[in-house]
Amino acid sequence: MVSTVNMTVQIGSLKMRNPVTTGSGTFGFGSETKDLVPLDRLGAVTVKATTRERRLGNPPQRIVETASGILNAIGLQNGGIDDYLANKAPYLRCFDCPIIVNVPGENPDDFAYVVERLTAAGAADAVELNISCPNVSHGLDYATDPQLAASVVAAVRKVTSMPVIAKLSPNVTDIRVIAKACEDAGADALSMINTVVGTAIDPRKRKFRLANITGGLSGPAVKPIALLAVWRCYNTVKIPIIGMGGIACPLDAIEFMLAGATAVACGTGNFVDPTLSLEVIDGIEKYCVENGFADVNALIGAVTAA
Amino acid sequence: MIKKEAAQVVSVTPLSAPRHFVLTMTSAHLASHSRPGHFIAVAADTGSAILRKPFSVYTVNPDVGEISILFSVYGPTTTAMSRMLPGDSIDVLGPLGGRIFDPEPIKGIHHILVGGGYGVPPLNYLAKTIRASAPDAMVTVIIGARTANLLVGDDGLLDAGVEVIYCTDDGSAGVQGRVTDALLPLLKSDSRVYTCGPTPMMKAVGELSEAHGVDCQVSLETFMPCGVGICVGCVVKMRDGVFSRTCTDGPVYPGCEVAW
């Protein structure tokens, strides 16, 4: 089949050949699954969080399985920006695939420092500000307060011309307030949702199942929460949204686009099937063909009342 | 090379141990690329349990393109596996594992393999591999269990010329006692130990070997959500303080590297 569907989407100045990327922390740094996923087929690759300093992460148990999902408390284990620039970016740059680097931080300076290094080295094509990781101290705070969220976006905005994507938390009363604050502070796009904070208990041992006690819930269990967040923000901000949360098949991704997402990320689904992104790309295209859409962008926000 | 495929079930055979099965499947890829210590990850349509589950490779028959795994029914995935029929499709990813057993079948070495529970199957494969590559190699497999009918994974070892020592907690088969009781008198300067099984057992075997200056390779069993190194959920702490991914940095480690 020769495709006549335009699959190209735009996240700020970042052009993606199709709307599919990977959820940060669910696809490593791209090389782990090289036997299974040719990176140049993805719309973009979003790599694992990269911090200012190396982080050892949380002690195990780090992941437990819950109904239709998992709880994780990895704790941002990574080698730090020096390791990323020396050992990860060169591999990623071998492919014709935009790189989105997820950047957490404990204060606006941390975020700005890492983004500045990435910008100077040309080692990313966009940055995703992880203002919402529930597994590290201070991580969540930034995404639960509009002023704090804006302060991080503004600090990063000053040091880069790359697209700045703010990753939002669902663990708030009204996500639209945070979305608007990030847009006003200069964010080029939003990604949502990060994980839903929760816990699990082993009743036989009478112990928490995660060493960290709390973890972030992801997988199909959170999809309804994520879809509503995307739809609400789509109706609140003008900047594009990368939708994620429980995508396990192409039609899940279609739902996110109909709710208002310009692009989507496969996350926990990669753990079940590392080739999920490829299946989703093909499935979106097939859906467009079968439903008479010549441009995938026509799906964005196209949901109507029941 | 890791491949995701729909393998075909050849047989699902119940063992005398309650709720234990051997599942044999057709996969030319797995049969030609699996080495001792490799594992595969199985996805079954189980409703709310979404993750794949890892299983060590038990037997390999490259001539007919078949491999087998040994499992006990524990949760939804293994329940579904126990009900599979010949001809059914089984969704597998593999072979997985970064660092696997390094048998180095050097002449004069006494290879001592110490296993318990589902830790025995990969050692069975290792024992046969060592014997096949070095027919005069001395190989002893020590298999431990609580009681006689839980001793699993010894299929074909005697035929392969491997010495097998059984240990049971209650003395219902073999030597009454722990695997370390059987291991201790065998440890010599020319020994090399390989172990797989419950963590407390591997810790005891690793520490005993280390105390006698004997190299010990341990194949760690953890909950592996992805099996390919991307989730970073299956980590164990190493003595240098680093959390290591057992799926791709292991699952086999020198015992002296693990912070038990």
Is A242 among the domain residues? yes
Query: With bands split at pLDDT 50, 70 and 90, how would you rate the model's confidence at A188?
Result: very high
**Residue A14, pLDDT score:** 98
Q: Which two tokens stand for residue A49?
A: 């969080």
Query: With bands split at pLDDT 50, 70 and 90, how would you rate the model's confidence at B118?
Result: confident
- Please determine, for the modelled complex, whether the ipTM score is greater than 0.85: yes
Mean pLDDT for the stretch of residues A237-242: 98
Query: With bands split at pLDDT 50, 70 and 90, how would you rate the model's confidence at A112?
Result: very high
* Pick from A45, A160, A34: nearest CA to A98: A45
Residue to substitute from A65, A66, A276, interface B, most B β-carbons within 10 A: A65
- CA-based nearest distance A36→chain B, Å: 7
Query: Which helix or strand (DSSP H or E) is residue A142 part of?
Result: helix A141-144
* Chain A residues whose C-beta sits inside 8 Å of any chain B C-beta: 25-28, 32-33, 35-36, 48, 56-57, 59-65, 67-70, 72, 74, 77, 219-220, 248, 268, 270-275
Catalytic residue chosen out of the listed positions A94, A97, A133, A249 = A133
pLDDT above 70: residue B85: yes
DSSP-derived 3-state class of residue B132:
helix
The single-letter code of the amino acid at B129 is T
pLDDT above 80: residue A135: no
Q: How far apart are CA B26 and CA A112, in angstroms?
A: 53
Domain residues for A237? 9-57+74-195+219-299
Contacts of A77 in chain B (CB under 8 A): 232, 235, 243
Mean pLDDT for the stretch of residues B182-208: 96
Question: What is the chain B residue with the closest CA to A73?
Answer: B233
| A138-161 burial: b if 16+ Cβ within 10 Å, else e | ebbebbbbbebbbbbbbbbbebbe
Is A210 among the domain residues? no
Is A201 among the domain residues? no
Is A276 among the domain residues? yes
Mean pLDDT for the stretch of residues A50-60: 96
Q: Which two tokens stand for residue B118?
A: 């589902």
> Is the model's pTM score more than 0.80?
yes
**Residue B185, pLDDT score:** 96
Is A306 among the domain residues? no
**Residue B82, pLDDT score:** 97
Query: With bands split at pLDDT 50, 70 and 90, how would you rate the model's confidence at A200?
Result: very high
**Residue B107, pLDDT score:** 72
Q: What is the DSSP letter of B251?
A: B
Query: With bands split at pLDDT 50, 70 and 90, how would you rate the model's confidence at B136?
Result: confident
Mean pLDDT for the stretch of residues A75-90: 97
Q: What is the DSSP letter of A84?
A: I
Task: Indicate the Cα dihedral angle A132, B245, B221, A200, nearest 10°.
Answer: -10
% of chain A surpassing 70 pLDDT: 96
* Pick from A120, A116, A117, A149: nearest CA to A132: A149
The single-letter code of the amino acid at A110 is D
**Residue A138, pLDDT score:** 59
**Residue A3, pLDDT score:** 64
**Residue A217, pLDDT score:** 98
| A42-62 burial: b if 16+ Cβ within 10 Å, else e | bbbbbbbbbbbeebebbebbb
Contacts of A59 in chain B (CB under 8 A): 237, 243
pLDDT above 60: residue A139: no
Report how far Cα A276 is from the mean position of its chain's Cα atoms: 15
Query: With bands split at pLDDT 50, 70 and 90, how would you rate the model's confidence at A216?
Result: very high
Q: How far apart are CA A74 and CA A61, in angstroms?
A: 9
Mean pLDDT for the stretch of residues B88-113: 91
Which of A240-244, B106-110, B200-204, B236-240 shows the lowest per-residue confidence on average (mean pLDDT)?
A: B106-110
Structural domains of chain B, with CATH: 3-96 (2.40.30.10), 110-216 (3.40.50.80)
Is A85 among the domain residues? yes
- CA-based nearest distance A103→chain B, Å: 17
Asked whether the beta carbons of B236 and B246 are under 8 A apart, the reply is: yes
Q: How many CB atoms lie within 10 A of CB B122?
A: 33
In the annotation, is A288 catalytic?
no
Asked whether the beta carbons of B52 and B8 are under 8 A apart, the reply is: no
Structural domain count, chain A: 1
Contacts of A274 in chain B (CB under 8 A): 4, 93, 226, 228, 230
% of chain B surpassing 70 pLDDT: 99
Contacts of B199 in chain A (CB under 8 A): none
CA distances in angstroms from A72 to A35, A64, A211, A223, A225, listed in the order given: 26, 7, 10, 16, 18
**Residue A137, pLDDT score:** 57
Query: Which helix or strand (DSSP H or E) is residue A224 part of?
Result: helix A223-234
Is A67 among the domain residues? no
Query: With bands split at pLDDT 50, 70 and 90, how would you rate the model's confidence at A301?
Result: very high
DSSP-derived 3-state class of residue A281:
helix
Mean pLDDT for the stretch of residues B76-95: 97
Q: What share of chain B is helix, strand, coil (3-state, %, to 5)?
A: 20, 35, 45
Average pLDDT, chain B: 95
Mean pLDDT for the stretch of residues B1-11: 97
The alpha carbons of chain A give a radius of gyration, in whole angstroms, of 18
Q: How far apart are CA A279 and CA B147, in angstroms?
A: 47
- Say which CATH number the domain at A226 has: 3.20.20.70
Q: Is the peptide bond before A61 cis (omega within 30 degrees of 0)?
A: yes
**Residue B48, pLDDT score:** 85
The single-letter code of the amino acid at A184 is D
